[in-house]
Amino acid sequence: MFTARISGELWQHAIYPSPEEGWQIYSSAQDADGKCICTVVAPAQNMCNRDPRSRQLRQLMEKVQNITQSMELLDLRTNRDLQYVRNTESLMKAVDVKLKTASDNPRSLNPRSLQELKDKVTQLLPLLPVLEQYKTDARQISRVREEVRNLSLVLMAIQEEMGAYDYEELRHRVLLLETRLHSCMQKLGCGKLTGVSNPITIRASGSRFGSWMTDTMIPSSDNRVWSMDGYFKGRRVLEYRTLNDFMKGQNFVQHLLPHPWAGTGHVVYNGSLYYNKYQSNIIIKYHFRSRSVLVQRSLSGAGYNNTFPYSWGGSSDIDLMADENGLWAVYTTIPNAGNIVISRLEPQSLEVLQTWDTGFPKRSAGESFMICSTLYVTNSHLAGAKIYFAYYTNSSSYEYTDIPFHNQYSHISMMDYNPRERVLYTWNNGHQVLYNVTLFQVIKTAGD
């Protein structure tokens, strides 16, 4: 068996400043169980940006994962086949004995025992594909061997380059870098929001209010960008092939929704658009590929039609969003006295799985977004806004926060987190702006 093991510990940038380095595969060894351990060394800095090295790193990581997967598959298959081979062993022995007797004494082979022999051989026929599979596996094993050899060549090159460092320092770095790698692989890394920084204006398009997004499901290789201009009775969704196309306003197709939308709280999750139907508290799941509505369901008790919007109005009563842990609706009801309610939704049926009352008045919130099952609420849609309140669904508790961010164009009508990309998508007065987020995270050691 072959496992890619990644261990880690607390990572905090301020505690461990570390020099610039390249991506590396660091070591490959066997542990006590005979498992192969592969350690990937990531560069300490600029890991999350889109420079070519981080792409190379991702490819390497993918390669390690691919090898792991192939090995696991082989292991599974071998075990299953071995079981089969064991079961057929006695059959083969019996055939063997019969054949021996027959060749020693040809006359003993009467029609009945010939038939018996034929039957036994027929029973053995399924063994052929198993043997064929073994041949394929053998080819796969030699390919995997080559890949491992390639990886260890990279490793050797690195060791030579790093000759100047002593082992302890190297080991220390490996731990840090692994942790960094993990946070970039965006798999386990969940944490508390500590910063919203580096706003990048992607484009200035559309009216003052609107919504734009990419698919929020992990994993997904979908690069499409969707844009929904306006909050009132809109039906036209523009779909761009890539972010670059969106920036240039080129290569797009149009989806005309069968029912108009309200607000800007839409989300794309796993290839479907979830949105609030105009003048209702119905949530619609619209599937882009089939261009059809898969399901619609009323969000029971939820205010709509600009009854309980965010501070900026715009029928923003129902805000749908997705994070690392699935699909959520943020809204309020009359029994909840206008305080923000969070419901976790089942993405196929839109049923409410669980609901939390945050106690925070929705009309005093500028926007809200969910990261790692925590809802973050801004205190205004205007200049000077900050992230003011956090509600932890994991512990049903809240705290007031003070996380500033730069509201460059001074009117935010949409703010949503994309867990896959770890950025905030915002619609700021007709500008489409991305923010980086910094999460303080504790990554548990995996595999031990």
Ligand X SMILES: *[C@@H]1O[C@H](CO)[C@@H](O)[C@H](O)[C@H]1NC(C)=O
Q: Which residues bind ligand X (CB under 6 A)?
A: 49-50, 59, 62-63, 66, 143, 146-147, 150, 190-192, 197-198, 270-271, 279, 305, 347, 372, 374, 392, 394-395, 436
Minimum CB separation from ligand X for residue 411, in Å? 22
Please state the closest distance from residue 40 (CB atom) to ligand X, in A: 13
Question: Nearer to ligand X by C-beta: 90 or 354?
Answer: 354
Measured CA to CA, the distance from residue 113 to residue 99 in angstroms comes to 10
As measured in angstroms, the least distance from the Cβ of 305 to ligand X is: 4
**Chain position carrying tokens 């290789």:** 221
Q: Contact at 8 Å (CB) between 402 and 386?
A: yes
> Torsion angle, CA of 15/19/21/27, rounded to 10 degrees?
-60
Q: How far is the CB of 238 from ligand X (least distance, A)?
A: 21
Contacts of 237 (CB under 8 A, 6+ apart): 226, 227, 228, 254, 255, 256, 257, 273
**Which neighbouring-strand residues pair with 417?**
424
CB 108, min distance to ligand X, A? 54
| Closer Cβ to ligand X, 137 or 147, answer by number | 147
Q: How far is the CB of 47 from ligand X (least distance, A)?
A: 9
> Rounded CA gap, 417 and 387, in Å?
13
330 residue type, one letter: V
Gap between the Cα atoms of 18 and 170, Å rounded:
12
Q: How far apart are CA 267 and CA 323, in angstroms?
A: 11
Chain centre distance of CA 311: 32
Give 115 or 150: the residue with its C-beta nearer to ligand X.
150
Chain position carrying tokens 């164009």: 409
Which residue, 95 or 263, is less far from ligand X as judged by CB? 263
Q: Which is nearer to ligand X, 95 or 193 (CB)?
A: 193
Cis geometry, peptide bond prior to residue 52 (ω within 30 degrees of 0): no
- The nearest distance, CB 169 to ligand X, in angstroms, is 25
- For the bound state, the minimum distance from the C-beta of residue 45 to ligand X, rounded and expressed in Å, comes to 9
Shortest Cβ distance from residue 370 to ligand X (Å)? 11
Coil/strand/helix, residue 377: strand
Question: DSSP assignment, residue 9?
Answer: -
Closer CB to ligand X, residue 108 or residue 305?
305
Q: What single string gives the DSSP state of each residue in 392-411? A: ETTTTEEEEEEEE---TTS-
Nearer to ligand X by Cβ, of 117 and 154: the residue is 154
**Burial classification of residue 301, based on how many CB atoms lie within 10 Å of its CB (0-12 exposed, 13-18 middle, 19 or more buried):** middle
- C-alpha 294/C-alpha 190 separation (Å) is 31
In the bound state with ligand X, the residue whose beta carbon lies nearer, of 49 and 115, is 49
Residue 153 phi/psi, 5-degree rounding, is -65, -45
Contact 356, 391 (CB under 8 A): yes
Instruction: Return the number of the residue (252 or 392) whose C-beta is nearest ligand X.
Output: 392
